[in-house]
Amino acid sequence: MFIFVNKTVMIPVNMVITILGILNNIVTIVVFIRLASTDTMTISLTALAVSDLLFFCLTLPNFIISALVSSGLQVLWNVDLKSLQYIGFVWQRPLFHKISITITMFVSCERSLCVVKPFLVKRIFTRRRVITVLVGIYFSLTALFMPVYVSGGLVKEETINGTHSILTMNLAPERALAEQIVHLGSGFSLVVASQIIIVISTIVMAIGLRRHQRFRKGASSTGQRLQKKQTEHDPQALSNTDNYRNRVEPFVIRTNDNTGVPDETSDSKAKVKEWGVAKNPSITNSYQRTEDMSPQLKDCDKKDVRKKEVQTSKPITTDSSAKEHRLIKTVFTLAVMHVVLNSPVLIHYIYYYIEPEFRSKNLNEKLRKYNAYEPMNIKPSATEALLDITRQTDIYNFIIIPDMINIEIRLSLRKPRNLVRDARLSDQELLS
């Protein structure tokens, strides 16, 4: 049951946001299906998008009924619209809300482990285990909400005038206890646990990125110091390939491909060969072997160039550090937004247990006394109205947080591979 301070403004705004949420999640699901990826993160994001889509699909008719009731239409086709709203949509929406929160917690744990332990994440979060956990989340939360679903329904009741009957709600005597159990199990406890786990996972991931960044900077500076120290002690130090080149290249014959005559640039080397043959005729075979080994010398040059690029790969370190800084800022922004947007919901649940008059038991008693032909003369207090308005941040949470979390997770999907690659580069720097 929604109580709005200004229904004329809030209902259309919420309906537009709900439609955008439906379209957004449909596009997300289609993209994931077309990717045809069996990655565990993609599976988790698809399950999250499905729960968000079902949440919005149940939210849209809820707001439509609120708009009809606010316009003065209390009964449609002999159905009490407020009873239909309460039985059909009020308790179905929180189910998918809690499913999305639980999946977000699971994704946060996996994401933080990707950064802290990139080599173990694929062993722990296998495809079969992830699917099992997601299916278990759906079934366990549905079972938790079942007492509320089976303790209420729509029945035909005659009006006060006795002219005809309408469909209105019928709540079982144990309905209040069922709602208490659901509120305690899936409401207050799950909301508090989700905020704590997501914040802790975010902090752990940020610390892991910082630690990895310091390690890479230390490894890079160590390699540079060793290289500088070697150059200072032996400025003319050459690699084995360079020494080999100095020994054999003066005797390598470079000839013109068309004429077979020595090039002008290698004329002096040709003279060296003639001089060597004149001094010792058996050296001809050595020259021939040197010509055959010229391609091998070129390959050695390429290997040396790659080795030096690894040793002096400072731009890669700078670029990775910049990406890590951006990722850390994004993660902290998402954590703050998640806490801020879920704080009103947490306040609502706290007030629910502190203030007895705000509990659904009294609200159900008011709804039982509801006359379809007379508007309800129930005016909420300022605190109740404020809490109901702040509770609407659930919708903004579903339209903003999933998109930004998808963007941030897309960054972290590539991050473990970069971490593994950078770790190997760091090892090569230390070994070199």
Q: What does the domain layout of the chain look like in residue ranges? A: 7-221+317-431, 235-311
Q: Which residues contact 280 (CB under 8 A, 6 or more apart)?
A: none
Distance between CA atoms of 66 and 383, rounded to whole angstroms?
A: 21
At residue 396, the pLDDT reads: 41
Q: Are 395 and 19 in contact (CB under 8 A)?
A: no
Look at residues 416, 337, 394 and name the one whose alpha carbon lies nearest to residue 14. Answer: 394
At residue 62, the pLDDT reads: 75
pLDDT digits (tens, 9 = 90+) for 205-241: 777 777 776 766 666 666 556 555 555 555 544 454 4
At residue 330, the pLDDT reads: 60
In this structure, how many other beta carbons lie within 10 angstroms of the beta carbon of residue 54?
19
Give the DSSP letter of residue 236.
T
The CATH superfamily holding the domain 7-221+317-431 is Rhodopsin 7-helix transmembrane proteins (1.20.1070.10)
Q: Which residue has the tokens 């590539």?
A: 414
Q: Which residues contact 240 (CB under 8 A, 6 or more apart)?
A: none
DSSP reduced 3-state for 189: helix
Q: Are 171 and 363 in contact (CB under 8 A)?
A: no
Phi and psi torsions of 168, nearest 5°: -135, 175
Name the stretches of the chain with pLDDT < 70: 1-11, 70-79, 153-170, 187-188, 213, 215-336, 338-339, 341-432
Q: Which residue has the tokens 């004429």?
A: 259
Spell out the long-range contacts of 290-299 with Cβ–Cβ below 8 A and sequence spacing 24 or more: 290/248, 290/251, 290/252, 291/252, 291/253, 293/248, 294/252, 297/241, 297/244, 297/245, 297/248, 297/249
Phi and psi torsions of 157, nearest 5°: -135, 145
Paired residues of 171 in beta bridges: 152
At residue 378, the pLDDT reads: 38
At residue 288, the pLDDT reads: 52
Amino acid at 213: Q
Q: Is the dihedral of CA 300, 305, 306, 310 positive or negative?
A: positive
